[in-house]
Amino acid sequence: MAVRTLAAQPAGDAGLLAAYLDRYLRRPDLAYDQTVAMGALLYIDLNLRADQAARFLVPGGLWQQWLEGASHMQLTTALSPT
């Protein structure tokens, strides 16, 4: 049985999160866990001094495209009727 070290686990987790974001940031019609995955990836990057989230966060990148294209992420100024 292979034993994973604590240092290897976050790096592997970062890869899984990046793969998830690669897939689901291309789908602004789907509101799953993109925000949670991005937050987790940024947290891992911070702790490992890595930079896996950067490619999603460039101007015009997948993160910006998803935020702009996802109707559930749009700012509204009108209050919903109760």
Q: What is the pLDDT of residues 49-73, one digit of tens each?
A: 999 999 999 999 999 999 999 877 7
Compute the distance between CA of residue 22 and CA of residue 43 in angstroms, rounded to an integer: 18
What number of residues does the chain have? 82
Confidence bin at 11 (pLDDT 50/70/90):
confident
Residue 80: the pLDDT is: 59
The sign one gets for the Cα dihedral 30, 33, 36, 41 is negative
pTM of structure: 0.76
Compute the distance between CA of residue 67 and CA of residue 53 in angstroms, rounded to an integer: 15
In this prediction, residues 21-28 reach a mean pLDDT of: 95
* pLDDT surpassing 60 at residue 17: yes
Confidence bin at 22 (pLDDT 50/70/90):
very high
Residue 37 · residue 71 · CB < 8 Å: no
Count H helices and E strands in the chain, helices first. 4, 0
- State whether residue 74 is helix, strand or coil: coil
- Quote the DSSP letter at residue 76: -
